[in-house]
Chain A
């Protein structure tokens, strides 16, 4: 098909989305040819958010931009050749020794789910999981990640299926603006493992008693999540969301109105 030749690496869904998004420019785009990452850039340039639950297809398109890495900007001083895994995929690239893991994810690997909130280890928005531990990507130099395994918010879902923690955050409205959310969720996911390992916190009643696994009280969840700041103030909802996943049973929602009232 003529058109397919012009869109060598776009899927049908992507082509369709492109046409819907930019009917005016479509001819021009077709005549000049388009590569997948250009398409994604264009998509980003149009900017307008398209939102509704049926827009999952578009979400996936945006998400897949994560597969692409921009070419290294030149010149690079003290360049480090790096090979590591992000969300299961091996990445090889050269980075400036000054570049943090966070900036590498956001500026070089198009994985913008990890957020820069303070850039100094004071807010937790950049939390990612490195070798099974939650860490702050803003204070992690990219150069130190050689051979390591990084999981970001983009890597938590399985296909279209959200991680239970992600679903629970939606259910309990564990966010407002959404900017601290990826960090909160990565932190909460790692916290579940820490609890299974019986790790202690400052509010653990007695650190001398080592247990195989700990059941976290609300106070424990709050203390252990205190490295993730939420300025919108979704804290109580986040605690509910975590409690539901941690306790493996539904946590009641507090909305007072019955359906259809008012």
Chain B
């Protein structure tokens, strides 16, 4: 068993403990010697960000043409995407894609349907009880793997974490789990997001901030414990039936990932710096929603910069989000406003403000990635950030004209700085394009295969 980390002196490294940001020169010494020479290419990365309850077409769609678009409205009102002006060259605004898979399968509520289809592009599945087939599905699930996980299958295997799921008040509704979860390894295998920045910090950065000698010992010890645990799984798996084995195999797979990550061939990039531990945040608080979200985005950015993971998701609240944007002066919940926006100017203005706020968060995330130098450019150059929603129009729960924004070009794969209208295509094909952007160019379909026509040529 080898420990691929150089030994640092305890004294040197203690400077990095205790929540103090560790500077770049210190961290260089932690880069495994095998990859320290920078011989490998820059890794590609994929991020998906979710916000709920649909959009408002004329406040979302840019004015003007493909390249000379502007985030303005004829009536001079607030444009949802106005914050994206700062990163306009890095993005593509997509209009016209449909969640066609929602035309079939179980489920009866536009939010459940939208959330379960959003990243999987296939029909939901009813739970063993058969309950709620035409309503919500208390023991049902999305029908298959989500795009982030499909991408992680390709690019997530070299890092400590295959993927990291961040949430901001993504509370689980036990009666309607499909509204609460978006990332799936497969049917009935939702990946729960981490809602607590303190928990995320501990999971991601404790080891990087640890004393290297102790860490080496700890890792050796973990390696032998996990070996033993894996043996137990293998002994048990030989005795159980298929359904149980599937769950146990997934667990064993997670342990294998954990084990491999102890000796991962990755290593922190030059810009890696252990962030301060988030303090004093209440992840259950409605009013701390912005602060918790900011902390999660900072942790995500640094997890990517430290190459702890290459696939991440950020789920703001849940489908049918009931967050009250008290910091914008709102008293009605997001969901309630979304159902009155078409009839009430005040509600409409507030719903636009909410989506505008999310555009600010998206911009913050993209600019954070852009602030991380990498190679000749920035980390954003090797990254795709996708902003998704479970609805088109939130009042009508539509599955057509669902808004998408893409940022980053994945090493030149996407032709950014454009506003595109793509009619008559299923959102499956957006994800086919994502897989191609991540290097998996032999893929022809994602989700329900008869809805796919191949990658969206307009994007490249």
User: Are these two chains actual partners, yes or no?
Assistant: no
Which B residues lie at the A interface, using CB under 8 A?
none
